[in-house]
């Protein structure tokens, strides 16, 4: 399998030294196609010297002899990405939100790679795309999603023998430079700024009182349940009566809500965020009594509406249209904004802020961090830890002061 070498488009006198700077190209027969028996020829150009081209041919012949030769495809990145997504969905059965993330990530990579052949995407090219996206101040989680999607696409291309090498294998997300903090005061200030919004105990009482006095139908129960359990709003809207044990005073969480276009009739019940999110929460007698009262009201509504009510066992259901279908998470957000305005409280707070509030109040009550994480359905969560440490720091300082005073006495 000897190769043929030539400077393409070189018009220099072959008897003299080339001065045009054209690169070398090789042509080499690599034996019959194992499927068709027809002759196969491989060519490649762009080599600076004839020696480079000869070395490439030697490596190619070695691959052919070992049976590891791959005829790289001419498919474009955009076309393979389109083919990859259904394969990914079939193999992994991801949640709808994950599929949406993969589509989003592909769209972010397309401006850089769309019309480039897969085999021509280099490590530098893919890394430059990531660096440019990072410079656009995309969040850490978004960048991680884009990198993971790119890696899976190229890994599949290698697996399908469309390309020889994976250009995303060693790709990474650049880290932000660490800023040295000058003083302890700056440390404390930055730490406080990192904390999410949540209610203080007094503010929560004001908010829940507003829900009781000025709330719309179900408001008091919705926001009391969120505040007293720390559950996610997506978990709340798909709670069913069979998830409530009135005797043992527990609420079981084993699903969450997905509705990409906020269409009441086209919701999906999906697995919770993580396996740890599947849990049972002990609730107070106050919450149980409120649930009992709501159940009685709902049963009267079901009788009144008859066949117009689609009874799927949900606790929080629509009352205007699509009777019996779970309420939108957006409705909970809008209801909360209304109550915050009426109570003259921080309108930047959200239903998720009640989850952070639950964390802070449990920490203030002396509940251990691990127990809080179990209740919230976390395996590990940075925000929960930050809130916990923020709330318990004064308690730790008080313990230290007590020790000092004891030693001095």
Q: What's the pLDDT tens digit per position in 261-296?
A: 889 999 999 988 778 899 999 999 999 999 999 999
Lowest mean per-residue pLDDT among 152-166, 182-196, 200-214, 303-317: 182-196
Give me the sign of the Cα torsion angle 113, 116, 119, 125: negative
Which has more pLDDT, 387 or 256? Answer: 256
Q: What is the CB neighbour count within 10 angstroms for residue 190?
A: 11
Return the CATH number of the domain spanning residue range 201-397.
Answer: 1.10.443.10
Confidence of residue 189 (pLDDT cuts 50, 70, 90): very low
Q: Full-prediction pTM beyond 0.75?
A: no
Tokens of 167: 């250009």
pLDDT greater than 60 at residue 1: no
Pairing of strands 39-47, 24-32: antiparallel
Distance between start and end Cα atoms, the chain: 94
CA dist., res. 1 & res. 31, Å (int)? 8
**Closest of 29, 27, 22 to residue 49, by C-alpha:** 22
pLDDT tens digits, 339-370: 999 999 999 999 999 999 999 999 988 888 88
Return the CATH number of the domain spanning residue range 77-159.
Answer: 1.10.150.130
What does the pLDDT read at residue 379? Answer: 67
pLDDT greater than 70 at residue 174: yes
Which has more pLDDT, 27 or 149? Answer: 149
Which has more pLDDT, 140 or 396? Answer: 140
pLDDT greater than 70 at residue 64: no
Which has more pLDDT, 141 or 397? Answer: 141
DSSP code, position 232? -
CA dist., res. 118 & res. 74, Å (int)? 7
Domains 77-159 and 201-397 are alike in CATH topology: no
pLDDT tens digits, 327-339: 999 999 999 999 9
CA dist., res. 64 & res. 164, Å (int)? 13
Residue 37 Cα distances to 31, 32, 33, 162, 347, angstroms:
9, 5, 5, 21, 73
Q: Please report, for the chain, the start and end positions of each structural domain, with discontinuous segments joined by +.
A: 3-66, 77-159, 201-397
Average pLDDT over residues 200-228: 97
DSSP string across 365-391: TT--HHHHHHHHT-S--HHHHHHHHHH
**Closest of 103, 104, 106 to residue 114, by C-alpha:** 106
């Amino acid at each position: 399998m000897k190769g043929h070498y030539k400077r393409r488009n070189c018009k220099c006198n072959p008897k003299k030294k080339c001065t045009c700077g054209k690169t070398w190209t090789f042509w080499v027969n690599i034996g019959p196609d194992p499927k068709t028996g027809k002759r196969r020829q491989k060519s490649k150009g762009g080599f600076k010297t004839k020696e480079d081209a000869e070395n490439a041919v030697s490596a190619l012949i070695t691959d052919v002899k070992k049976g590891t030769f791959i005829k790289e495809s001419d498919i474009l990145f955009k076309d393979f990405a389109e083919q990859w997504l259904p394969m990914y969905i079939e193999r992994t059965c991801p949640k709808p939100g994950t599929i949406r993330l993969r589509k989003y990530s592909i769209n972010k990579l397309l401006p850089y790679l769309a019309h480039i052949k897969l085999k021509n995407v280099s490590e530098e090219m893919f890394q430059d795309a990531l660096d440019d996206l990072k410079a656009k101040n995309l969040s850490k989680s978004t960048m991680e999603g884009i990198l993971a999607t790119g890696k899976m696409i190229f890994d599949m291309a290698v697996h399908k023998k469309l390309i020889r090498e994976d250009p995303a294998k060693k790709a990474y997300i650049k880290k932000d430079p660490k800023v040295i903090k000058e003083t302890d005061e700056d440390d404390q200030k930055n730490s406080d700024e990192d904390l999410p919004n949540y209610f203080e105990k007094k503010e929560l009482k004001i908010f829940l009182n507003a829900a009781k006095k000025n709330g719309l139908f179900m408001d008091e129960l919705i926001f009391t349940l969120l505040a007293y359990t720390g559950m996610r709003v997506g978990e709340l809207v798909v709670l069913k009566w069979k998830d409530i044990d009135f005797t043992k005073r527990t609420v079981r969480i084993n699903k969450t809500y997905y509705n990409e276009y906020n269409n009441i009739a086209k919701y999906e019940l999906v697995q919770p965020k993580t396996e740890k999110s599947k849990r049972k929460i002990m609730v107070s007698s106050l919450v149980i009594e409120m649930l009992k009262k709501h159940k009685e009201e709902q049963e009267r509504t079901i009788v009144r509406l008859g066949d117009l009510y689609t009874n799927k066992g949900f606790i929080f259901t629509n009352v205007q249209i699509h009777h019996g279908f779970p309420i939108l998470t957006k409705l909970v957000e809008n209801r909360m904004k209304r109550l915050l305005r009426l109570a003259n409280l921080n309108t930047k707070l959200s239903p998720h802020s009640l989850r952070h509030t639950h964390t802070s109040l449990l920490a203030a009550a002396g509940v251990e961090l691990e127990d809080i994480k179990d209740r919230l359905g976390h395996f590990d969560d940075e925000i929960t830890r930050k809130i916990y440490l923020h709330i318990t720091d004064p308690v730790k300082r008080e313990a230290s002061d007590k020790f000092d005073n004891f030693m001095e006495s």
